[in-house]
């Protein structure tokens, strides 16, 4: 056990201070290490589209200063006296959730991501009244329940996107019984989550069709990711030919889009699973689902247990995410590029290698 901090610790992160979403160095304090807390030195942190939503207040609930980042991989440097799951020196991951009530039905079923009192890893308030801050920072303090061990054989920078993008795809496939070999699935949108959707579904033995708005990603989808087919949604003839062909669609698009063209692709009892965070209503006419007993449903990240399963699944199947590693000083450019979909397929910030403490000299403090 590392020496238990008797005082609050000062750390450095990169924070947004207003709805421009621009990040810059920010110094703040973390809570004292509690009995079940794990202190994590951040090594890498993936960049998710949700980081843009939150930093730019696109969901209308952002609080500033805000340190984003919820695909965090780091090294345990200290543990509280009641920590049993992790030890100093472990390489671990922290995802979207860092707290829950532990008493409601979802919590008791170990799907704590659906707890109505869940606490987000950033842009939220912890039980002690402090704002939570994410992984674009040198250090985090996290309850052991929400820390998962990174298995041997998985590089830490590769593991980071699996803590959000990977488990976000794995969880609904498992929950909705869509893991049997031979199923025909569609992956709508080929970004950070979508590219993991292709990889995970293929590893489960599915026939995978990537659905995109243009043909520009065809070679990437089929030659690099191993998709079996590629469907351009603006090609009316091709869409008509593919009607009633899919058992499910994993919809990763994070902006408003029509539903009916994609519902037509589903077989009887097919499922359209929404994964993208969209701040305005989607619409469809009811016969599109009634006349095929089709389902529109949603899924949100995954539990800590499912995250551990996802990591182990990826090790066993030899799956990795396709990433572009950047330094913290490049994070604003990375966010801009992500917003225009100019990344293949996930940015990961090398936090430990970015000397962010030096960059914070003279920066505002909490």
Residues 155, 23, single domain; the answer is yes
**3-state SS assignment for residue 158:** helix
Residues 16, 140, single domain; the answer is yes
List the alpha helices (DSSP H) in 242-303.
260-263, 287-290
Rounded Cα–Cα distance for residues 20 and 317 (Å): 41
**Within a domain: 285:** yes
Residues 273, 243, single domain; the answer is yes
pLDDT of 363 higher than 80: no
pLDDT of 1 higher than 50: no
Other C-beta atoms within 10 Å of 286: how many?
7
**Within a domain: 281:** yes
What is the CATH number for 207?
3.40.50.720
Residues 130, 189, single domain; the answer is no
Residues 146, 177, single domain; the answer is no
Contact 259, 285 (CB under 8 A): no
Q: What does the pLDDT look like over 9-55, one tens digit per residue?
A: 899 999 999 999 999 999 999 999 999 999 999 999 999 999 999 99
| Residue range(s) defining the domain that contains residue 293 | 166-298
Tell me the pLDDT of the chain averaged across its residues: 95
**Within a domain: 311:** no
Contact 123, 16 (CB under 8 A): no
β-sheet bridge partners, residue 251: 188, 274
Residue 360 banded pLDDT, cuts 50, 70, 90: low
Q: Write out the DSSP string of 90-110.
A: -EEEE-SEEE--SSSHHHHTT
| Global model pTM greater than 0.85 | yes
- Of 298, 314, 346, which residue is a domain's last? 298
Q: What is the DSSP letter of 212?
A: E
pLDDT of 344 higher than 70: yes
Q: What does the pLDDT look like over 81-123, one tens digit per residue?
A: 999 999 999 999 999 999 999 999 999 999 999 999 999 999 9
**Within a domain: 308:** no
Residues 174, 283, single domain; the answer is yes
Structural domain count, the chain = 2
**Within a domain: 337:** yes
- Of 242, 265, 298, which residue is a domain's last? 298
- Rounded to 5 degrees, φ, ψ at 189 are 95, 125
Do the bridges between strand 23-30 and strand 97-99 make them parallel or antiparallel, or are there none, so unpaired?
A: unpaired
Residues 238, 140, single domain; the answer is no
């Amino acid at each position: 056990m590392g020496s238990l901090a008797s005082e609050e610790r000062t750390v450095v992160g990169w924070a947004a201070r207003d709805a421009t979403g621009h990040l810059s160095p920010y110094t703040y304090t973390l809570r004292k290490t509690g009995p079940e807390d794990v202190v994590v030195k951040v090594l890498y942190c993936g960049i998710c589209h949700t980081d843009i939503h939150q930093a730019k207040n696109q969901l209308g609930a952002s609080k500033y200063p805000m340190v984003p980042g919820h695909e965090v991989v780091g090294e345990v440097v200290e543990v509280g006296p009641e920590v049993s799951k992790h030890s100093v020196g472990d390489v671990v991951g922290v995802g979207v959730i860092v707290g829950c009530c532990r008493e409601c039905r979802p919590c008791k079923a170990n799907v704590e991501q659906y707890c109505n009192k869940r606490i987000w890893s950033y842009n939220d308030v912890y039980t002690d009244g402090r704002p939570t801050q994410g992984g674009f920072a040198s250090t985090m303090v996290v309850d052991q329940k929400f820390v998962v061990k990174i298995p041997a054989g998985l590089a830490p920078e590769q593991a980071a996107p699996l803590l959000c993008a990977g488990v976000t795809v794995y969880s609904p496939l498992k929950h909705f019984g869509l893991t049997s070999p031979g199923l025909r699935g569609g992956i709508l949108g080929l970004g950070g989550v979508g590219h993991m959707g292709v990889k995970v579904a293929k590893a489960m033995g599915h026939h995978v069709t990537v659905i995109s708005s243009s043909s520009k990603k065809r070679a990437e989808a089929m030659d690099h990711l191993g998709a079996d087919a590629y469907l351009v949604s603006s090609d009316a003839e091709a869409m008509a030919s593919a009607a009633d062909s899919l058992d499910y669609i994993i919809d990763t698009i994070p902006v408003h889009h029509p539903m009916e063209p994609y519902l037509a692709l589903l077989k009887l009892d097919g499922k359209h699973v929404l994964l993208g965070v969209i701040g305005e209503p989607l619409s469809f006419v009811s016969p599109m689902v009634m006349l095929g007993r089709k389902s529109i449903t949603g899924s949100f990240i995954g539990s800590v247990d499912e995250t551990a399963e996802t990591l182990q699944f990826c090790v066993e199947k030899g799956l990795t995410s396709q990433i572009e590693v950047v330094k913290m000083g490049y994070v604003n450019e990375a966010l801009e590029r992500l917003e225009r979909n100019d990344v293949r397929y996930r940015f990961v910030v090398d936090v430990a290698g970015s000397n962010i403490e030096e960059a914070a000299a003279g920066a505002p403090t909490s």
